[in-house]
Amino acid sequence: MEEKSFKEVNKELNLIMTGDWSIENDDANRVVEFIKYYNNNIDELDEGVEFEFLELVISSMNEAILENKVDNEMTFLFKEFIYPHLSNELALHFQTIIYWDAIADQEEFPVGFLIREMLGDD
């Protein structure tokens, strides 16, 4: 099976290719869509795309919190999406999660507090 590259994912999700892909494409209105896409395509995603997708979802969730667009479904799906990446401290994904925890801030990075809660560091 051929893996999906950024080019294919960008086309399917109408995203742009940039040097800061996950941040430039974050969207408070698409958190659930991004998580569902990831879950439905995880076995087909190129490793680089998979890594950046975690950042895309976290950054989009951060925007959703800032814009007061979070609902119960979004929170549930986000936690369900993040939890598997918390189990392996050596994984690259875990380092991304720790980064967001470390920059937690009510004004700019409130998603860090949600991640902190999930890590049990609150």
Answer yes or no: is 113 within a domain. Answer: yes
Tell me the per-residue pLDDT of 44-57, one tens digit each, with 9 for 90 and over: 999 889 889 999 99
pTM of the shown model? 0.92
Q: Do the domain assignments include residue 47? A: yes
Asked whether the predicted pLDDT for residue 113 surpasses 60, the reply is yes
Domain count, the chain: 1
Question: Tens digits of per-residue pLDDT, 59-100?
Answer: 999 999 999 999 999 999 999 999 887 776 556 688 888 899
Residue 1 has pLDDT above 90, yes or no: no
**Assigned domain for 92 exists:** yes
What is the domain range of residue 64? 6-119
To the nearest 10°, report the CA torsion of 101, 23, 60, 107.
60
Task: Give a yes or no: residue 1 inside a domain.
Answer: no
